[in-house]
Each structure stands twice: as structure tokens, then as C-alpha cells.
Amino acid sequence: MTSAASSQTRSILFALALTHALVVAQAVHAQSASTSNSDFSSSLDLISWFIFFGLIGSVIYYVVTYMRPENVALRKFNESVKQKNFTEALNHCEEGLIRDPNSVNLLVNASAMCIPLKEFEKTLHYCDRGLALTPRNVNLLCNRSAANNNLSRFAEAEQDATKAISIDSKLQPAYLNRAFAYLVQRKYKEAVADCNQAQSINMLDVDIIHAEALNSMNRFDEAMKICQSAMSRMESQSADADLSGLYVTRGNINHGMRKSKEAIADFDEAIRINPRCEPAYVNRSGSYLMLGDIKKAQDELDNLNRMKISESLRAYPMYTQIRVYIKQNQWDKAWKEASMALEKYPNSPIVNAMVAFLNLHNQKLELALEHINKTIELDSYSREGHYIRHQIYDAMNEKDKAQADKKIASDFGYVPYLI
């Protein structure tokens, strides 16, 4: 219940209580009129008038409270939200803030409405204003965390979610926001732990993040179990939901298990559900390559270039393009693509892995080792990284180290298919 609603409720209850008291007082007055002296009657008259004026004051207070700019805006906001008209709901908040710029309720609701409208910079604006007034407001911290995630500011998103959790350890949306930030920063164990905390939200996003984190840790069976459970649940609920993300996740798991045909089928379904599902196109190119269909892989990459996909996804198509060139023995083109990728994404583990592999091919072993060490430093679960480092150590005649990395890659379920 909002504070405005609580205030209205208190006013109504107070008015009812006063009305009841007035009726009782009048009854007592009537009953005692024949037996009481005139002084007592006068006193009771004064009490009755006092209660009467108290009732009038309560009514005036209720009307004034009801018509406060904040409360007027909140009533309009609630009606728009019921109709799922988020643009109109945001407009009501903004109109209310013109007259009441320090209304924390309006700032919270305005920041929340900007998220489905994908106006994330505005979310930050309203959150910052609200947090300047109430620094420990967990709703504002959660909204700012969500906006920072969508703006690829994952460290800031993690920080806001962590602060919200320190204030309210049962705040499940904060665990969800932090789990996503952890996942993207390759803190997979932490992401899994937060998903476990957020399970009772029963949200599809929790399942997707949880499964993706387990998949990234090469725990494919566990990840697949979560995906299948989520799909069964959504089907049993006949939920009208966009399941494209869930199909992408299951496709990623099938890809990790080298089930390329199943992965491609999942990516196809994701695209059927949502033709603008960029991750499905991006990951399908890699599955085509794993399947050995270089032409389809290249066609997908060409399509991605025409789509002008989000910058946050660009590293993977460049990585796949390098691999396509290597499979075609076009080493010069592979080097050119790798150089551009490394310049744009110097902290991408997959890009560093390809640069390491190319240096290994050119027998530049020290440089290859430098880049593959960075790959594993960025992502200790990189199966390909450990396998390539095994190859580098083997070329350097460091057999024990080579064997250790080969075992890690094998334990992670890696089967080489680059060459």
C-alpha cells in the first residue's frame, strides 16, 4: 500500500470513529437529560460540539490529503499501470513531480516505468534524485541496478544490488539483478548462489540466469534440468510469455554438449518466437560452424553484419568469423579479423583465445602463452582456453603443464573441433 493510500485510510477511519463517538455522546446526552443537572448538560453540549468540529476537521484533512498533487498523480498512475499503459503512467509521475519534486513515491514509480520503456538513462536520473532524499531506499537501489545492467554497467549494478541486500536480505529482485551482473562478469558461482536466493520469485529470468551460469561452468546436465523444468512449468501454466530467451539458453547448453543440430533447432525456435532475438542469430552461427557447415555459418555472419547487432554481442561473431577463416585456411584474413577484435575487445576471453591460437600457429609461443593466460584469468572455466594452453605447453616441451591443462579441458567435456 502506498503512503497516499495509507493516509486516506487513516483519515477515513478517524472520521468513522468520530462519527461513532458523536452518536454515542448524543445518546448519552438524551438518556441523562432528565436526571442530570443543567451544568452537566452544558458540559455534554460542549463535548458534543468539540466532537462535531473534530469531525469537520477530519473531513477537511481528508479532502486536502486526497487532493495533494502527489496523491492525484499516484491515483492516475495506478489506473494507467492497471491498463499496462506505461508511457501514460510515466507521464502522470512526471506531471506530479513538477508540482511535488521531492515526492519519493513518484520518483520510485517514475524510475520503475522507465525500465519497460527502455529509457534506462532516465531511470538513473530518477533513482539518483530519489536516493539523494532517501539513500537507503531499496526500491530505488533495485531500479538503478536493473538500469545499470541494461546499460552494461555491471560493476555498478552489482554494487547497487549488494547495498539493497545489505538493507533487506530478503529482497529477491536485488538477488536477481546481482545474479545477472555476476553472470556477465563471469562470476558464475556467485550467480548460482544468488539465483538460489531468488528462486521463490518463480520468474523465468531466474531460470535463464541460473541455467546460463551452470552452462558456463560446464555443468551441462544441471543446466539442462533447469531449462526443461522451466519449459514444463510455462507450458502447464499456459503462460503468455516470450520464451525466446529460454530457447537460446537451451541452445547454448546443447552447443556446449556438442549437440549442434539440437542447438540449431532451439535457436530457430527462438527466432520464430522473436525475429529480433539477436543472441539466437549470434549463437546459431557458431553451431553451424561446429556442425561443419561453413557456408551457413558464413551466411549467418553476413546476416549479422547487415542487422547491425548490439555492441555487447559483437565479440562473438568476430570470434566465429576468425574460426571460419581458420577452417578455410585463410590465415591472413583470420589475423586481420583477430587484430580488429582484440583492439575492440581486449578483455574478451574468446578473442584472446583466438589470438593465442593464431600465435601458436606462427610458433610465437611466448606471445601465445600471454594471451591464453589472459583468457583463463578472465574465465577459468574456458574449456577451449585450457585446451589451447595444453597445445602451447606441449609445443614448449613442458609436458607436465600440458597434461594438466589437457585434463582440465577433458574434465570440462571439451572436444576440439577448430582444425
CA 101/CA 83 separation, integer angstroms: 25
Report the number of secondary-structure helices (H) and strands (E) in the chain: 22, 0
Alpha carbon distance 66, 11 (integer Å): 10
Give the cell for residue 111. Answer: 524510475
- Burial status of residue 155 (CB atoms within 10 A of its CB: 0-12, 13-18, 19 or more): exposed
Residue boundaries of the structural domains of the chain? 3-66, 242-313
Contact 355, 342 (CB under 8 A): yes
- Kindly give the residue spans of alpha helices, DSSP state H, lying in 171-243: 172-184, 188-197, 204-216, 220-236
Q: Contact at 8 Å (CB) between 226 and 233?
A: no
**Which pLDDT value is given to residue 75?**
80
Cβ(73)–Cβ(106) below 8 Å: yes
Per-residue burial over 386-418, b if 16 or more Cβ lie within 10 Å, else e, is bbbbbbbbbeeeeeeebeebbebbeebebeeeb
- Classify domain 242-313 at the CATH topology level: 1.25.40
Q: Identify the CA nearest to 123 among candidates 110, 105, 106, 135.
A: 110
Which stretch of DSSP H or E encloses residue 37?
A: none
Handedness of CA 335, 340, 343, 346 (dihedral sign): negative
> In a structure prediction context, what are the per-residue pLDDT tens digits for the chain, which is 419 residues long?
444 444 454 554 444 444 444 444 454 445 554 554 555 555 555 565 556 555 555 544 444 444 466 777 778 878 887 888 889 889 988 888 888 889 898 899 999 999 999 999 999 999 999 999 999 999 999 999 999 999 999 999 999 999 999 999 999 999 999 999 999 999 999 999 999 998 776 688 999 999 999 999 999 999 999 999 999 988 877 656 789 999 999 999 999 999 999 999 999 999 999 999 999 999 999 999 999 999 999 999 999 999 888 888 999 999 999 999 999 999 999 999 999 999 999 999 999 999 999 999 999 999 999 999 999 999 999 999 999 999 999 999 999 999 999 999 999 999 886 55
Which of 244, 306, 251, 253 minimizes the C-alpha distance to 277? 244
Closest CA to 371 of 408, 402, 342: 342
Contact yes or no for 181/147 (Cβ under 8 A) = no
Residue 21, pLDDT score: 45
Q: Which three cell numbers stand for residue 416?
A: 576440439
CA distance 187 to 298: 32
